[in-house]
Structure 1
Amino acid sequence: MQNTLETFFPDAPDDKAMMTIEHLLTHASGLTEHSDGDLVPMTRDEAVSRIFALDLAFAPGTAMNIQMRAIRFWRSSSSR
């Protein structure tokens, strides 16, 4: 639960590198909900690139916002 994203994605941007699996599962990651184009088919790498390019709504662990993007991202990282 305390593993950071940089454990799974060494190239994670600084604002997301220290995000933990716990942050993703408890909706405290800072990731925002859907943006344009989220529902179009894309590869796993394209999805990760899109998520890494997003601005966070808040620093991981400082607030809570229920969103499905974090759950999809966790599923992506757990398959590595």
Structure 2
Amino acid sequence: MEQRNTPRSDNLSPAQVLFGHPLKSAVPAYRRAFAPEWQAVDEECDSKLSAEMERTEWYYNRSSRVLPPLCIVTHVCI
């Protein structure tokens, strides 16, 4: 039962994909956590987080450049 409620890489559990909401389980949780409005708030927070991560990645990569590959005999400092 707990495996069906465990989120995958897309942040949805198999139960959420199939039924549209997480299933009740033996793990203690508030009843309100299963309410549709909380699920919508969670999805909104996830979308804001992903947008922020994309913006951070863009700022990090804006001054990057492609480097030439290293040969096997190239000396490097570590």
Give the alignment's TM-score, normalised by structure 1: 0.24
Q: Which has the higher contact order (CA 8 A, sep 6+)?
A: 1
Write 1 or 2 for the structure with the bigger share of helix.
Answer: 2
Larger Rg: 2
Give the alignment's TM-score, normalised by structure 2: 0.24
